[in-house]
Structure 1
Amino acid sequence: MTALPREMTAIAITKPGGPDVLKPQRIAVPVPKDHEILIKVEAAGVNRPDVLQRQGGYPPPPGAPSTPGLEVAGKVVAGGASARRYKEGDAVLALVPGGGYAEYCAAAEDNALPIPEGLSMSEAGGIPETFFTVWTNVFERAGLKPNETFLVHGGSSGIGTSAIMMAHHLGARVFATAGSPEKCRACEKLGAERGIDYRAEDFVQIVKDATQGKGADVILDMVGGDYVGRNLAVAAMHGRIVNIAFLKGSKVEVDLLPIMLKRLILTGSTLRPRSVAEKAEIARALEAKVWPLLAEGKIRPQIYKTFPLAEAAEAHRLMESSAHVGKIMLVP
């Protein structure tokens, strides 16, 4: 077994605040528990929940590391007594409840998956948080089926680009909102039938016109605010609307009558607080349904920019600017 260092560099949130509160610090290398593996991190994804945690609004669940970071890719360097699937040297990606912004990260073995052939470590590290989120919300909670119409807001984000690719290749008709004509064209290249510039166009009217008045069967929304009422307006009969974030606010005044008249489902979920067992079920579904698409090259994570681990603050500044299309990554 490879000798491991006792300490490593990790990014600490020194106090709630802006990106500059993220500082490299030396902390102990994690010791994997019975059911865990220890990963030498080669890439870690940056996500909106990391920004919320940095600002003091999204504390890690009990028992999770205070170090931010919800997804990693790298090589297995150690395993707990009950860890059986992976051996030292295996290349894996993993969904973690925290600890990703570091040189080493412990992960529940059941929440790790083998890296599909042909993907770089940066591409692999950009998969777990987004793909797990999309699968559980769009395909499990909302039950998106082939030939249904799917509308995703924030189409150029990490979640959005992943949702477009997965829905398109699993047979849905996809529409996506984004903040510029360039971002809309990027969404279309990934499989959206129409990118909708929310700054200049009305997504309700465009989706209704494109579907002969029917609307969207499934809507994935991370915006909230006035989008809540507009989602109810554009939803088809028996439509399912899933909220996973509220960038424009979670408190809204809205007419709920469309829920009754169109027999809609308005729901939502979070991923981070779920149990290892619940996340393991999502992992198994992804391995069965989506991993073949990755292995065949039909889906490829969209990496916008990679930063050294020590420049986590710059990565957060880019995330908050919303200038990116796809994933922002950190590399130790």
Structure 2
Amino acid sequence: MNPIKAVHILDDPMPEYGDHEPTDDPLQILRHSTAHLLAAAVTELYPGTKYAIGPAIKEPPGFYYDFDFTKPISESDLPAIESRMRRIAQEGRPFEKEILPREKAIEEFRKRGQDYKLELIADKVMGDGVSVYRTGDFLDLCLGPHVNSTRDLKAFKLQRVSGAYWRGDEKKPQLTRIYGTAWQSQKELDDYMKFLEEAEKRDHKKLGKDLKLFAVDDRVGPGLPLWLPDGATIRRELERFIVDEELARGYQHVRTPDVARLDLFRQSGHAQLYAEYMYPPMKFEDGEELELRPVNCPHHIVVYQTELRSYRDLPLRIAE
């Protein structure tokens, strides 16, 4: 009888949930294992919670896990979750890999009420075998590898809570994402937390408010600063510096409209390739469609085409 093999589809790893391919990077393995530790703690503290996906991530360095809680949690709940993680870590529960027959894996996750895992098995796993990892009573759909036991996980910290749509689709359920970081030693963790503390002191949002450089108001919109007098002065000086540098390097300055006919961006390919990242076009009764430009390039090509050029004109440097 041929042994059961686990075959997982990895050419569509759902990048919004991190890289699910196996790795031999010890730090990434440790962080992935800590994500499992987090899920094990959550399912013990909050029975009935459904767990989705929990990868190691490189930026910010650490891990996360997405959960569907029966009732909302907040960052005030993180210390209790972290405390349970430490208790499980001290117990030294082994990470045990198994290849389950497909129907057995479906039965196991259905028994636990883990609908997201059932969906992943249906969509992402091919073949007769399903790779899972057990950590005590906790079972996860995973290719691994992992550390030997939870006792290997000593330097970790839960950091924040945010929302995330299942599989990055706003039409699907919104889950609770818990972020954390994990390191190979307590000193590395302490150094990283100190780095974050210092970085927060230099956060541009905090400095902008404290120094009265700009203000942000929900009525205007996120990421849309209102430049205050001192901030406007700094911005003006920076703009002058940039223009002077460009002129010194042979650039010619032009000024082009902030909008253009949508056809211009169809011709450049932006409308076809980047429509989801562009603002919707402004449509008028006469059928005209104007688009807020995502880049300057199409306008500058039109500037180039305003007269007959010679190779002697090259390179032609245009800026605005």
Q: Normalising by structure 2, what TM-score? A: 0.21
Give the structure, 1 or 2, with the largest relative contact order (CA under 8 Å, sep 6 or more).
1
Query: Whose Rg is larger?
Result: 2
Relative to total residues, which structure has the larger helix share, 1 or 2? Answer: 2
Relative to total residues, which structure has the larger strand share, 1 or 2? Answer: 1
Q: Normalising by structure 1, what TM-score? A: 0.20
